[in-house]
Amino acid sequence: MDPTVWYATLPSPVGALLLLSDGEALTGLYTEGHRLPPAVGPSWRRDPGPFRAAEARLLAYFDGEARPFDIPLAPRGTDFQRAVWAALREIPFGDRISYGELARRLGRPAASRAVGRANGLNPISILVPCHRVVGSGGALTGYAGGLECKRLLLEHEARRVAEARHGRAVRMSG
């Protein structure tokens, strides 16, 4: 028998978000336009209970709060993928780096394509901020949630950083 997968949906400025949990930690967060969304299975149970902390952090994020995400995450993947996803969590709010730079940070400077593939397979969008990785020239490339969603997230963070410098609150509209 398959283990229970808890799930909930959350409206957001970038569309509905699908949140998944094993009951202990967040295992997935998919945007509405995600190119590889999981299919609801017979062992799935809709329950907002396991997602209260994640929902609170996401609402704060979309409301303009820039603090790091500090909720339990348990993405499933290879050791290399989990290393890439851990490195993504080190990219500060509002920053952007290239796939090549992310590969260098991992000590694998020739592995930018493998890093890009692992980045694209990130099962926890937004909270594991794969949207902060861009092409070498700054181009918005390769976002499983769609380039429009990536653009909105990056613009939201850039606005928040700019407005924080000027002491103004920011709200994300969508």
Give me the CATH number covering residue 40: 3.30.160
Q: Are 85 and 122 in contact (CB under 8 A)?
A: yes
pLDDT at 173 over 60: no
Rounded distance between C-alpha atoms, residue 7 and residue 110, angstroms: 38
Q: For residues 99 and 150, state if they share a domain.
A: yes
Count of the separate structural domains present in the chain: 2
Residue 122 structure tokens: 């990130």
Which of 34, 62, 90 is the last residue before a domain boundary?
A: 62
Give domain status of residue 174, yes or no.
no
- Which residue in the block uniquely carries the two structure tokens 């949207």? 131
Give domain status of residue 170, yes or no.
no
Q: Are 154 and 93 in contact (CB under 8 A)?
A: no
Give domain status of residue 72, yes or no.
no
Give domain status of residue 172, yes or no.
no
Q: For residues 99 and 55, state if they share a domain.
A: no
Q: Are 56 and 67 in contact (CB under 8 A)?
A: no
Give domain status of residue 67, yes or no.
no
Q: For residues 83 and 58, state if they share a domain.
A: no
Closest CA to 140 of 108, 96, 105: 96
Using 50, 70 and 90 to split pLDDT, how confident is the model at 171? low
Query: So what's the pLDDT on residue 40?
Result: 86
The enclosing domain of 109 has a CATH number of 1.10.10.10
Domain residues for the domain of 16 are 5-62
Rounded distance between C-alpha atoms, residue 173 and residue 12, angstroms: 9
Q: For residues 10 and 88, state if they share a domain.
A: no
- Give the mean model confidence (pLDDT) for residues 61-80: 90
The catalytic position among 87, 111, 130, 149 is 130
Q: For residues 21 and 58, state if they share a domain.
A: yes
Residue predicted with more confidence, 110 or 137:
110
Q: For residues 99 and 157, state if they share a domain.
A: yes
pLDDT in tens, 113-154: 999 999 999 999 999 999 999 988 888 888 889 999 999 999
- Give the mean model confidence (pLDDT) for residues 42-48: 93
Q: Which amino acid is at 55?
A: E
Strand-pairing partners, residue 98, are 134
Q: For residues 46 and 110, state if they share a domain.
A: no
Among this protein's residues, is 149 annotated catalytic?
Answer: no
Q: For residues 94 and 151, state if they share a domain.
A: yes
pLDDT at 170 over 80: no
Q: For residues 155 and 84, state if they share a domain.
A: yes
Q: What percent of the chain has pLDDT over 90?
A: 72
Rounded distance between C-alpha atoms, residue 124 and residue 96, angstroms: 18
Q: For residues 58 and 83, state if they share a domain.
A: no
Give domain status of residue 44, yes or no.
yes
Give domain status of residue 171, yes or no.
no
Mean pLDDT of the chain: 90
